[in-house]
Amino acid sequence: MAAAAATAATKGNGGGGVRAGAGEAGGARKKKGPGPLATAYLVIYNVVMTAGWLVIAVGLVRAYLAKGSYHSLYYSIEKPLKFFQTGALLEILHCAVGIVPSSVVLTSFQVMSRVFLIWAVTHSVKEVQSEDSVLLFVIAWTITEIIRYSFYTFSLLNHLPYLIKWARYTLFIVLYPMGVSGELLTIYAALPFVRQAGLYSISLPNKYNFSFDYYAFLILIMISYIPIFPQLYFHMIHQRRKVLSHTEEHKKFE
């Protein structure tokens, strides 16, 4: 989950990777972007995903105004959140068929980690759905995805507003720690219920001579945040300086 949130600023979905630089294999050649049909499809996909996360954002605001409280807002956006976050699985297919120049393995890890948190933790452990930590990562994801899919859409159309570019490479400074905190707190809150119910765990003896402790697995996931978080966070800081400084230099020559 940590990597998914962190690398959202560097993951391609037909946007930043479309205009890749020149390659040198037997001579200088420009890397081709997706063809017209693929580009049209990616624009539609990113527009739909942008709209979907906007629906989630509006749903959160409306529920808050109606209730006058931020507690248990998850229930008001549960269905669209599951639908659009699960819909991101298509991004793995985009990489696999080559219309997006990103790593299939990395993209799979990024997407599946979020899908895992939505379905294997938040959906499966009903008791955590009212936790404020869920709202924490949902808000962070929602803002991040609205910006990310907007970025890809405008990049594909070769008309990227500076404000969206700035937001994509700046707001993660707050949104990434916010999302990671929400994810960790949600998994932590789920632990006692997972242990009590033996959720998704397999005990010995059984005919396959195999055991699996989901409780221990979740703890290992939480521990994995320790090395991943700082590494990716500072990588994103470096990317921000590189991209925005390049933009400023480009403006000077216009």
Give the active site residues.
176, 183
CB atoms within 10 A of CB 36: 7
Rounded to whole angstroms, the maximal C-alpha distance in the chain is: 71
Structure tokens at 192: 């006692």
Residue 30: what residue type?
A: K
Is there a contact between 69 and 86 (Cβ–Cβ < 8 Å)?
no
E strands present in 132-243: none
Q: Could you give the C-alpha distances from 211 to 183, 203, 206, in angstroms and in order?
A: 26, 5, 8
Packing angle of the helix pair 74-87, 104-116 (nearest 10 deg): 160
Which 8-state DSSP code applies to residue 122? I
H or E stretch covering 68: none
Give the whole-angstrom CA distance, residue 60 versus residue 180.
20
Give the whole-angstrom CA distance, residue 162 versus residue 130.
37
Which 8-state DSSP code applies to residue 212? B
CA neighbor of 61 nearest in space, from 143, 130, 182, 6 = 143
Q: Is 249 exposed, middle or buried (0-12, 13-18, 19+ CB in 10 A)?
A: exposed
Report the sign of the C-alpha dihedral through residues 197, 226, 110, 145, in that order: positive
